[in-house]
A and B are shown apart, each in its own frame.
Chain A
Amino acid sequence: MKKSSYFIHQPLVLYSLLAILILQTACSKDPIREEVITPPDTTKTVTYENGIFIVNEGNYNWGNASVTYLNNTNNTVVQDVFSKSNNRNLGDVAESMTIAGKLGYLLINNSNRIEVVSLKDFKSVSTISGLHSPRFLQVVDSTKAYATNMQNYISVIDLKTNSVSGTIKTTSWTENLIKYDKFMLVTSIGRFSEPSAVRKAQIFVIDTETDAIVDSIQSGKEPIGIVIDKKQKVWVLCSGGYDNFEAPSLMRINPELRVVEKVFTFTDPAQVPSRLCMNPTGDTIYYLKGGVYQMPVTSNTLPTQPLIKPEGRLFYGLNIHPGTGCIYVSDAKDYVQNGSAYQYNAAGSLIRQYVTGRIPGSFCFTANSTK
């Protein structure tokens, strides 16, 4: 071979071989993303106005939060309703859902968003950003709501424009909140980055007319739940701290005088209570502590036996139906598979069981829900 043709040929031979190889391999254009295997829906859910939403947190940083819908009209279950209606995933760690009028507000903790959806079709109406690890949302009136954050502030949400209209500076992790008179009582765990010993646990009293913290009530470490009973007494559940800094406690507060009236201390350090709930008649408290516990507000002692035993289940979410008083409790299993939700009547008899998405954490009931 002559020198000149040698130089022309050598790359040609090699690169034509390469071209053949490239042509042989087919080219996929669909992005490769996580897929959820769910049975196909047998019924078409037209609206989401009569039923129960189960908010599945999903795994931290996996972006697999979802919403399961229990349709009260025809007793069907629809998984992953947000993705189906919006062709995108809900985000990372869905903490809670609150309904205001005809809209649902989903607080997406690690995506720092509130997804606003229409209950008619679950299509996204708005996406609120500018939050700092949002936790729970409570409606003040038809124009305003408060959303708690794990850091820095409480966000004031304008329900007309679906945007953040202001902030209430706290520098602490605020968790649960409940309305009393013209005030919002907000549990505050303390600064997120600090250990329990240093964290200042308190209940903020916020004047909803001025959006200002007007008072505070000291509580046990890590106040995570707050409810109000029929006599307008406020109950606060304190976990005692992530590091078991102190024994968990249940406190009764007089919101008028802003004083703690009663403290019930939990004795078993291995079992930490969570998910404080109140029944619709305002006379019975529920919480999780391994099993589901039930306690009349008039009781002088904490219950010693659960109403519903866990029997190997990892009870994770709990709520009481505001109409029927049914107990809804979820099993997150080992956090790395689909969970379950159980519906019990107020006496603790199982009515129905449902499959949910990953880490079912909270329940949200529509105004018309009948189950």
Chain B
Amino acid sequence: MYSVGIQCIPLLLYAQTPKDTLNLKEFEVKSTYKSDINGFKRVKLDSTFLVNHLNEDLSKVLANYSTIYIKSYGSGSLASPSFRGTTAQHTQVEWNGINLNSPMLGQVDLSQIPVSQFDGLEILYGAAGISRASGAFGGVINLVTNPDWNNKINVLAAQSLGSFHTFTSNINVVAGTSSFQSHTKFNYSASENDFPYYNEYLTKMVTQHSASYAIFGISEELFFKVRDKHLVSVKFRYNQDDRDLPPTTNNFENDHYEKQSSKNLFAVADYKFVEKKYNVLVRTAFSNQEMHYALDSTINVVHQYYQVINKIRFTYLGIRNMLIKPGIDFTFDQVASDDYNGIKSRSTTSFYTELSNDIGGKVKTSLVIRADLINGSFLPIVPAIGIAYLPWKKCDLSFTLNLARNYRYPTLNDLFWAISGNPDLVPETNYSVELGYAFTHKSKNGKFLFELNMAGYYSWIYQMITWTSVIGNPSLWKPENIDEIRARGVETGLNFKWEVFNFRVSLDNNYNFCRSTYQKASSAYDEKIGKQLIYIPVNTLNSTFSIARWNFYLNYNFCYVSERFTAKDNLSVMPAYNLSNIIAGKNIHIKHFILSLQFDINNVFDLDYQSMPSRPMPGINAAFTVKLGFPGTNR
């Protein structure tokens, strides 16, 4: 496998005694700018980082530690991702190769994904996502679980108590041999979510009501290996959640009954056959998801969907400096919704080829081509081409360039929602170009690491689907291919890690500049041309300072989100805000066990803010977590 650029090995630098393989590492290793497809951007957050956030959901981790902007309707409510100036529907979230985006809405609610349910997280920016799926103009967030074949047994139990009657429990059991590994994970989290806030409508302090939630999940993952040639894995995950959707600040005093619950089952089986010159991956996956929504006595609907995914990938390494990776994906979606007229389905066959080439170790190229056949008709080809240039062998510096064309097919809601659905929609089109560089410097003694990366992108979206009122019938809304968007921006990462007087210190910074504008007016009276898309901040910054010694660890996180417009003419805004969060903890080694005590303080300065209008957010809040680990022994 080719790998461009950054082989950032802080793992070695901060490796603990073998006992710490439990993941109770006291230090964070994060944000490694990597690329497995030449010329495309990929960032990884690994388990050592995630273990301090076991009691949180994915939306919070991404908001605080990545350049992805999270649009949050308030604590415990819908949180949807947006990167590179695109919408949540242009972001695909995968769990071990299964698309978690609802085929109905085309997006995913990150507040429902507990961090404890995966070991690692990778973010594929922009066109890098084409290697996984078409339509993810912003990118792909991939949640992965991987076996450690050296592990014998590793048990972790964590209990967290937080403000506003929040309780989170996690149990992870990882056990196996050199040819078999089993991961069993359990998570439960419940909250009254009854935080106090200043209600600007009632002009008084109130306590949020009807906002409670409970999330439960269990997963079993089995990995088998036969002579390093046959790799088999079977993964199951079941989760369910029940939520009261809270009132807005403006209807706080009403009898408010709005509930949402869901039950989701995922199953995926992989078989990989590995030869010296080639390998084959065969995957089959199934998901069954059910969502129930009720509002007062007026709406009471059930949506149910099934997804079947079959996938074959063939990788050929027989030609020197060359990798050829053809494949076929087949996806079948079926939706039975109270809001559709009858059962609707969609079958997608995706033909895929990836070619990578290494020219003299200095120039690496890749070409990804995808062609989707949806319900029997071909979409135009989705191509992406990437080039990486590594000028010096001794210096970890790389320049990347990629160009791509991409399409996003309408969601099933867009097509089939009763009365409103528009079967005449055409796919959205995206053209993008990205230029980046990454530099890593590590001191010879391995005690200092410096990492700098930057990526600039320019992207056009044509025929973007927007729900709009029908002229002559203002009460009817329909999706139409009306918008044209231009998004451009720069993402910068600047990270330091060093070890001095036995202190381990790190400073990680992500800064994101994004201008995403409307390019087409719907009429001569429309004032939106050249204006920033609503709910997309121009500037976001997050910085994390970590320090550890004597088995203590301390982590200070700062996030800044600039103003977000709430009007397409940009004449109303949600003002900018910045939040600070602190995590402090200590690991105590007691014989074969590690006891970890952790204290989190969120919104340290008790900022009274809203991310979305009329959706209250909590002020200062805290959580206390006790983790008990039995790392067992490694082989």
Contact A314 B524 (CB under 8 A): no
Using Cβ atoms and an 8 Å threshold, which residues of chain A touch B471?
290, 310, 314
Contact A313 B604 (CB under 8 A): no
Using Cβ atoms and an 8 Å threshold, which residues of chain B touch A332?
469, 474
Using Cβ atoms and an 8 Å threshold, which residues of chain A touch B524?
311-312
Please tell me which one of the listed residues B475, B580, B607, B608 contacts residue A272 in the complex, with CB atoms under 8 A apart.
B475
- Least Cβ–Cβ distance between B18 and chain A, in angstroms: 24
Q: Does chain A have a CB within 8 A of B496? A: no
Contact B609 A338 (CB under 8 A): no
Contact A91 B573 (CB under 8 A): no
30 A-B pairs whose Cβ atoms sit less than 8 Å apart in the complex: A18-B582, A18-B584, A22-B604, A29-B608, A31-B609, A32-B607, A32-B609, A33-B200, A33-B575, A62-B614, A88-B200, A89-B250, A92-B250, A111-B251, A112-B253, A112-B254, A129-B253, A151-B298, A244-B419, A274-B474, A274-B475, A290-B472, A314-B471, A314-B474, A316-B474, A331-B525, A333-B527, A334-B468, A337-B528, A337-B571
Known: A18-B582, A92-B250. Contact between A271 and B575, CB under 8 A? Answer: no
Contact B569 A32 (CB under 8 A): no
Q: Which of B119-127, B166-174, B546-554 contacts A (4 or more CB under 8 A)?
A: B546-554
Closest to B473 in A: A272
Contact B250 A63 (CB under 8 A): yes
Number of interface residues of A (CB under 8 A): 65
Q: Which of A9-17, A161-169, A253-261, A363-371 contacts B (4 or more CB under 8 A)?
A: A9-17
Residue-by-residue, is A103-146 near B (CB-CB < 8 Å gives 1, otherwise 0)? 00000001110000000000000000100000000000000000
Q: Does chain A have a CB within 8 A of B566? A: yes
- Least Cβ–Cβ distance between B354 and chain A, in angstroms: 40
Closest to B482 in A: A334
Q: Does chain B have a CB within 8 A of A38? A: yes
Using Cβ atoms and an 8 Å threshold, which residues of chain B touch A209?
none
How distant is the Cα of A243 from the Cα of B569 in the complex, in angstroms? 31
Residue-by-residue, is A15-29 near B (CB-CB < 8 Å gives 1, otherwise 0)? 101100110010111
Q: Does chain A have a CB within 8 A of B523? A: yes
| CB proximity to A under 8 Å, residues B460-481 | 468-476
How distant is the Cα of A64 from the Cα of B298 in the complex, in angstroms? 24
- Least Cβ–Cβ distance between A192 and chain B, in angstroms: 5
Closest to A29 in B: B608
- Least Cβ–Cβ distance between B248 and chain A, in angstroms: 5
Using Cβ atoms and an 8 Å threshold, which residues of chain A touch B178?
none
Is the contact region of chain B dominated by helix, strand, or loop, or is it mixed? Answer: loop
Q: In this complex, which of B251, B418, B468, B552 has the most chain A Cβ atoms within 10 angstroms of its Cβ?
A: B251
Using Cβ atoms and an 8 Å threshold, which residues of chain B touch A62?
248, 566, 613-614
Q: Does chain B have a CB within 8 A of A34? A: yes
| CB proximity to A under 8 Å, residues B508-537 | 522-528, 534
Q: Does chain A have a CB within 8 A of B279? A: no
Q: Does chain B have a CB within 8 A of A46? A: no
Q: In this complex, which of A32, A316, A332 has the most chain B Cβ atoms within 10 angstroms of its Cβ?
A: A32
Closest to A10 in B: B550
Q: In this complex, which of B203, B471, B473 has the most chain A Cβ atoms within 10 angstroms of its Cβ?
A: B473
Contact B566 A111 (CB under 8 A): no
Closest to B483 in A: A334
Contact A338 B571 (CB under 8 A): yes
How distant is the Cα of A134 from the Cα of B409 in the complex, in angstroms? 40
Q: In this complex, which of A31, A313, A340 has the most chain B Cβ atoms within 10 angstroms of its Cβ?
A: A31
Contact B566 A34 (CB under 8 A): yes
Is the contact region of chain A dominated by helix, strand, or loop, or is it mixed? Answer: loop
Residue-by-residue, is B240-272 near A (CB-CB < 8 Å gives 1, otherwise 0)? 000000001111011000000000000000000
How distant is the Cα of A272 from the Cα of B470 in the complex, in angstroms? 10
Q: Does chain A have a CB within 8 A of B574? A: yes
Contact A271 B569 (CB under 8 A): no
Q: Does chain B have a CB within 8 A of A354? A: no
Q: Does chain A have a CB within 8 A of B545? A: yes
| CB proximity to A under 8 Å, residues B584-635 | 584, 604-605, 607-610, 613-614
Known: A33-B200, A91-B201, A111-B201. Contact between A337 and B527, CB under 8 A? Answer: yes
- Least Cβ–Cβ distance between B488 and chain A, in angstroms: 22
How distant is the Cα of A336 from the Cα of B518 in the complex, in angstroms? 13
| CB proximity to B under 8 Å, residues A1-58 | 6, 10-11, 13-15, 17-18, 21-22, 25, 27-38
Using Cβ atoms and an 8 Å threshold, which residues of chain B touch A252?
none
Known: A33-B200, A34-B613, A192-B298. Contact between A337 and B476, CB under 8 A? Answer: no
Contact A37 B571 (CB under 8 A): yes
Residue-by-residue, is B217-260 near A (CB-CB < 8 Å gives 1, otherwise 0)? 00000000000000000000000000000001111011000000
Known: A311-B524, A334-B522. Contact between A112 and B574, CB under 8 A? Answer: no
Using Cβ atoms and an 8 Å threshold, which residues of chain A touch B608?
29-32
Using Cβ atoms and an 8 Å threshold, which residues of chain A touch B525?
312-313, 331, 333, 340
Sort A-B residue pairs by CB-CB distance and give the 5 closest, nearest first.
A312-B523, A290-B472, A63-B250, A271-B472, A337-B569
Contact A37 B573 (CB under 8 A): yes
Q: Does chain A have a CB within 8 A of B558? A: yes
How distant is the Cα of A243 from the Cα of B474 in the complex, in angstroms? 13
Using Cβ atoms and an 8 Å threshold, which residues of chain A touch B254?
111-112
Contact B567 A358 (CB under 8 A): yes
Q: Does chain A have a CB within 8 A of B340? A: no
Closest to B574 in A: A34
Known: A111-B201, A193-B298, A243-B419. Contact between A92 and B248, CB under 8 A? Answer: yes
How distant is the Cα of A36 from the Cα of B571 in the complex, in angstroms? 6
How distant is the Cα of A110 from the Cα of B608 in the complex, in angstroms? 24
| CB proximity to A under 8 Å, residues B328-358 | none
